[in-house]
Structure 1
Amino acid sequence: MADEKQVTAQEAPHLEPVHSDVDETHTTTTRPSGWMYKGIKVGKSEIWYASPIVQLLMVAMVCFLCPGMFNALSGLGAAGQVDPSAQNDASTALYSTFAVVAFFSGTIANMLGVKATLSVGGLGYCIYAASFLCFNHTQNRGFVVFAGAFLGVCAGLLWTAQGTIMMSYPPEDKKGRYISWFWIIFNLGAVIGALVPLGQNVNSRDNVAVTDGTYVGFIVLMFLGAVLALFLCNAGNVIRHDGSKVILMKNPSWKTEIKGLVETITASPWVVLLFPMFFASNIFYTYQLNDMNGGHFNIRTRALNNLLYWTSQIIGAIVFGYALDAGKFRRSVRAKASFIVLFVITFIIWGGGWAWQKDQVVREIAEDENSGYDKLRIDWVDGAPRYIAPMFLFMFYGFYDAAWQTCIYWYMGALSNSGRKAANLAGFYKGIQSAGAAVFWRLDGLKKPYNTIFGVTWGLLGAALIFAAPVIWLKIKDTVSLEEDLKFSDETAEDVTVNTKQPKEASV
């Protein structure tokens, strides 16, 4: 009889499950006790690396180090600078290129594979942080804008690959938890990243730019994230616990992928009703990070708010991620309940936000160096009600962001289990999301009043939910059939489902 051998993740797609004679679950069905590779029996532990959960955790760590650190930098307001003009210009360039590239990045991810797509995507983040280090010394705004535009290209690739993994790898009953775990680890990056400027500026009550050391720390961590992405498996190598595989195209070409991009819309035209929700999913960062945090707090309090904001995101991801997987209720019921909760908190949290915002100074005073407002900016020692009330408001904004993003990913994941379709949906999501962000960063760059940006943001969030209601109410089913998913692939049911036949052990 052949000896058992080690199998690499690249060999995993050729494995077939071997079912044990022992009923491990104490039910009438048995679970795989191993797999066959070219007729040789191997254990499950030897391909754990290619499992969905390990791959998701690795992607989460990539995002922890790249966009997580980017969020920590952005959360400071003006990317750690005093004048937000350079960051506004960079963000407009970033989200403009992001919007264009993301529409086609699903096609690119399906062609190149998620590993290469993620790694290339990670490079733009460290260059972006480096541009602000350079700006501290040279005031070279052109480099900052270029870095923003380049990051838009890279981010389009990274987030589409991430979305593909998060929506298509998990089994249907665990998608909420997988999204939650990703969001927790990803936002831990922003939390830990926020500790850096907080520690360096803890004694500064002035409104000044962050130190060079802050930017250097971000650059190093972001580069490590791009390198880590190279150790991922591609989607075709991933095998779920039950032996099933991710649905892909066997032989993708540019022609088939562009066709799939079109089919995503033409086969399900109602998906366009989710586009307003996509558009609104990043627009609130402009008000929250630049106009609220950057506009009204001194540097050390901005750093503390930044830490609390991303910590609240983790709480929001846990609450909504696990609630969306609550097994006591059918998935269609959970979808409707999550929509109602999202609608309610949109008006409660943002209503509280308006109660605070309407009493604040206007932009012209907040950004005028000669107005004397820099000495009047809110500091954490001000206590209640001057600081405590906006502190909790800012935390609720972070909670709300996680709730909105978690629900969108879960809604898209509930519409399909196909890796190919998930890549296209993720591309649409990130492209439209970035178009919305580009518009709002440009509005901020044009110095539109804080109240105007707040009002338009809140109005679009409410309108987006109204447009999405028919999809969430009528199109999310309790399960998606395999036949439905295979419409977006050239694979057959036999290619992706468990082989229940008991294979014989290979002889020498």
Structure 2
Amino acid sequence: MSSEAHVEKSGVPVGTTIDHDSEKAVPPYDTPQENAGWLYRERRIGPITFPYYASPISQLLIVAFVCFLCPGMFNALSGLGGAGQLDATVSDDSTVALYSTFATVAFFSGTICNKVGIKATLSFGGFGYALYSASFLAYNHTKNRGFVIFAGALLGVCAGLLWCAQGTIMMSYPAEKVKGRYISIFWIIFNLGAVIGSLVPLIDNLKNKGDNVGDGTYIGFLILMAAGAVLALFLLDSNKIIRKDGSKVISVQHPSWKSEIVGLWEVLLSEPWILLLFPMFFSSNYFYSYQFNAYNLARFTTRTRSLNSLLYWLSQIIGALFMGFALDYSRVSRITRARVGLGFVLVVTLAIWGGGYAFQKDYTRANADKLHKIDWVDSNYGGPLFLYMCYGLYDAIWQTYVYWIMGALSNNARKLAIYAGFYKGIQSAGSAVTFRLDSLKVPYINMFGSTWGLLLASIVCAAPVVFMKIREHIPATEDLKFSDETDSVEKFEQRD
């Protein structure tokens, strides 16, 4: 069995492939410009030079646009509150089913992705999103609650596979010094999907102040999500990807069923401190139920919810752009960036959610339906809109920081796949819990309090990892211990 490793500062040339059977080192690839294939040729149109198709950035862009069309549109639909329905109960029940299957599948998604391939995994994921939108289109006419819940459960399976492939590529393709930028670029394009997706219900509901969203909204989402499933088929296998300097990107090798379970246990046994990040994982989507249903759905008219959703996801682009590039600021050490970043996250958590409490204390679940629904023509609309945009900004800041921390802990593709599985699985469990609480009609102030308290507590729990485990660089020989490649690397170094 052969495995590939992009080895830096270990005595092995960058891009070297280690063959476990022969213990011989294969020289790196030539630079892409020296490869004759069209996959490795840059394209120039006028003053613009486009990266070659087999470059890491090109592949990241394809994955980003798949997420633009699938989960991006899903976020636009969810951001309406109740997935566009006035009664959020059926949406909540479907979302609970979604995140329950998501949380289960995510832990084993690496193995499934390795067996069926990245293309098929992403394409199947896109199908799940399209079916989800179709289920609400059908619900508008048939009130078939069971179909919506089934579609949610199937989407959880599809999303678990899609996000594992996305997370592993996003964290393992870039070099250490640009991981924040790759995360930022992905998050911007992904959320741009939600921004553009929000235009669909906004245009469809310009004159709709108090009803469910129209069929045109769901049809529009259905078409766009199906396009994302097709786009996924244009992704290349990771063993064809070459960086511009000629080094091969780490092949995204996920473990077998047996080694998946062993690998999960191995990470927990050798790195028990990773448990301190679990509260941060759990809370990373926990606030969606409150923001979408207890805030946007409860307090605004249908058309205003559509506008709010658009501006929410637009704010995410701003947050991701700022946080991603700030975390890669080369004039400050990575250790300092990690610590200052955690402090910044703490400050914005106190500020934004403190402002949220000032608004939340004035209404309850019991009286929300009796209060005037805020419309964009109302004089008091500015403050609540600004708060909702801050919620979007906060989401991007939180997600970007968590991804960056995971990427700073390792460069090993297999380990990052397990981290991604932990992250998405535990994140989905948190979402299932909070949407179930909303389905059970838990008071809004209780949902707000649990969200804010969990966010603050998770920052405290993560502090020891940030202050003690983040280093300037992860040596390759140390990082490869997890993948059983260390012996081969050390023998090569001794011969050399």
> TM-score of the superposition, structure 1-length normalised?
0.86
- Could you tell me how far 1:88 is from its partner in structure 2? 0.6
Counterpart selection for 1:281 from 280, 284, 296: 284
- Could you tell me how far 1:419 is from its partner in structure 2? 1.5
- 8 Å CA contact 2:39, 2:53 repeated in 1: no
Q: Which amino acid aligns with 1:81?
A: Q
Counterpart selection for 2:366 from 364, 367, 371: 364
Q: State the alpha-carbon separation in 1 of the partners of residues 461 and 282 from structure 2.
A: 12
Q: State the alpha-carbon separation in 2 of the partners of residues 448 and 295 from structure 1.
A: 14
Residues 253-309 of structure 1 deviation map (CA, whole Å, 9 limit, x = unaligned):
332333222222222111111000000000100000111000010001101100110
Counterpart of 2:378 in structure 1 is 382
Counterpart of 1:25 in structure 2 is none
- 8 Å CA contact 2:103, 2:425 repeated in 1: yes
Residues 161-194 of structure 1 deviation map (CA, whole Å, 9 limit, x = unaligned):
1100111000111000000000010001000000
Q: Sequence identity of aligned pairs in percent?
A: 60
The 1:188–1:36 alpha-carbon spacing in structure 2 relative to 1, beyond 3 Å, is closer
SS of the equivalent of 2:344 reads helix
Counterpart selection for 2:200 from 191, 196, 199: 196
Counterpart of 2:231 in structure 1 is 228
Counterpart of 2:466 in structure 1 is 472
Q: State the alpha-carbon separation in 2 of the partners of residues 398 and 291 from structure 1.
A: 15
**1:212 to 2:212 alignment:** no
Q: How does 1:344-363 map to 2 (within 5 A)?
A: 344-360=347-363, 362-363=364-365
Counterpart of 1:21 in structure 2 is none
SS of the equivalent of 1:470 reads helix
The 1:215–1:431 alpha-carbon spacing in structure 2 relative to 1, beyond 3 Å, is same
Counterpart of 2:23 in structure 1 is none
- Could you tell me how far 1:123 is from its partner in structure 2? 1.3
Q: Which moved more, 1:112-121 or 1:338-347?
A: 112-121
Q: State the alpha-carbon separation in 2 of the partners of residues 127 and 249 from structure 1.
A: 28
- 8 Å CA contact 1:107, 1:424 repeated in 2: no
Q: State the alpha-carbon separation in 2 of the partners of residues 356 and 98 from structure 1.
A: 32
Counterpart of 1:103 in structure 2 is 107
Structure 1: stretches of 5+ with no match in the other structure: 1-12, 19-31, 496-508
SS of the equivalent of 1:424 reads helix
**1:133 to 2:137 alignment:** yes
- 8 Å CA contact 2:40, 2:54 repeated in 1: no
- Could you tell me how far 1:417 is from its partner in structure 2? 1.1
SS of the equivalent of 1:246 reads coil
Aligned alpha-carbon RMSD (Å) = 2.2
SS of the equivalent of 2:397 reads helix
Structure 2: stretches of 5+ with no match in the other structure: 1-16, 18-25, 44-50, 490-496
- 8 Å CA contact 1:486, 1:493 repeated in 2: no
How many correspondences in the alignment?
Answer: 458
The 1:297–1:269 alpha-carbon spacing in structure 2 relative to 1, beyond 3 Å, is same
Q: State the alpha-carbon separation in 2 of the partners of residues 53 and 230 from structure 1.
A: 17
Residues 102-153 of structure 1 deviation map (CA, whole Å, 9 limit, x = unaligned):
1111232344333222222221100100000000000000000111111011
Counterpart selection for 2:443 from 443, 449, 452: 449
Counterpart of 2:395 in structure 1 is 401
- Could you tell me how far 1:234 is from its partner in structure 2? 2.2
Q: Which moved more, 1:213-222 or 1:229-238?
A: 229-238
Counterpart of 2:116 in structure 1 is 112
